[in-house]
Structure 1
């Protein structure tokens, strides 16, 4: 049986990063659940902080340097994507959105996505459903029902009557693992109406360069 490939995209800016920590926890639970079911898994982590200059250059010039090209190819060949971003000013990080903008518009079609986000306070958790989930839905990905938000206070005991962070991570990972197990990348459907270049390139007159 061919191993399932999970790509983990983390757009945390600091070191160490709570965004990367959440991404790792989500991946660990998902991989563990898949292996319990006898599914072999390969995991690749993409740290967008390390690709920031390449992403900007790609947006400006329409050319992906080798490291960014490798990351884009990994997403395109994945059986599942774990995408985690910090929340800045009530929405996803600009670096996160810029990476999504340079992905081939058809790469995410029918791809299971586990969404994670981090922020200072629980009130930012709504950004998962009003900002991040619609982004992946628009790109014809399959976001799992449970998005996992981790506020600063969630990295403690979580015993305030709200479902604890480990419980939320496990629930999201369970939904994600179920979709990844059934995913056949060879059967993923391409959208015939998708743009062959990001909209920013077309508006910037770069489509023919």
Structure 2
């Protein structure tokens, strides 16, 4: 990858709060991210997708909640999310709301981490009855964080994966909803300048070696 490509390519981070492997939550997060990347490509905008499974940093998330500090792999994930040009956030629905792991990760983010960031929401559950969680739980959460939330959010029930792309009840197919949501996110991202690498606030600090040698 050239330096120019690294600066201009939009970076999309897809967060999956699925707890199992394989996970329909990860599958939806990946497909939403890929749809956004494809839509950006149609507009002549390079984009890169990285899928992050929060289950891999579940223990560090708990540690950060107890200590107030994120370290190691969790710190890397938080940095990626904070510096992303867009975030896809997908959670399974538990007890009519987002998963505890999903909320715990959001709780360890800085309150300004997602301010103004384009965000596409998604959720998975056993039946379509759980889809209301997108509007009564997820959307208010990201509105509080001042994220720029896409109008279309995508819920995928178990039947959506087994219906070969054909939804019941006259609703659009899951693939069509994913494509529409990806296009909406892409339009928002394409209209903005790429964020580029965040400045390191400690870059100018002298090293211990230079202090001891001076």
Give the TM interval when normalised to the shorter protein.
0.7 to 0.9
SS at match of 1:7: strand
Correspondence 1:177 to 2:186: yes
Aligned to 1:199: none
Shift of 1:171: 1.0
Preserved contact between residue 6 and residue 79 of structure 1 (Cα < 8 Å)? yes
2:39 pairs, out of 29, 33, 38, with 33
Which residue does the alignment assign to 2:11?
A: 5
- Of residues 155, 160, 163 in structure 1, which corresponds to 2:172? 163
RMSD: 1.4
SS at match of 2:92: strand
After superposition, the Cα gap between the structure-2 partners of 1:40 and 1:167, relative to the gap in structure 1 and judged at 3 Å, is: same
The number of residue pairs the alignment matches comes to 187
SS of the counterpart of 2:101?
helix
- Match of 1:175, SS state, is helix
Equivalent of 1:78 in 84, 91, 96: 84
Aligned-pair CA distance for 1:184: 3.1
Structure number with greater Rg is 2
CA gap of 1:159–1:132, structure 2 versus 1, over 3 A, is: closer
1-structure distance, mates of 2:133, 2:103:
13
The alpha carbon displacement at 1:48 in A equals: 0.3
The TM-score, its normalising length taken from structure 2, stands at 0.84
Per-residue deviation, residues 138-191 of structure 1 (Å, max 9, x unmatched): 1100110111000000012324221110011111111111111113365xxxxx
Q: Choose which of 105, 108, 113 in structure 2 pairs with 1:102.
A: 108
Match of 1:42 in 2: 48
* Structure 1 runs, 4 residues or longer, greater than 4 Å off: none
Structure 2 equivalent of residue 202 of structure 1: none
Once structures 1 and 2 are overlaid, which stretch shifts more, 3-12 or 158-167? 158-167
What are structure 2's unaligned runs of at least 5 residues? 196-214
What TM-score does the superposition give when structure 1 sets the normalisation length?
0.86
Task: Find the counterpart in structure 1 of residue 207 from structure 2.
Answer: none
Give the conservation status (yes or no) of the 8 Å contact 1:27–1:173: yes
Unaligned stretches of 5+ in structure 1?
Answer: 187-209
How much does 1:104 deviate? 1.0
Structure 2 equivalent of residue 92 of structure 1: 98
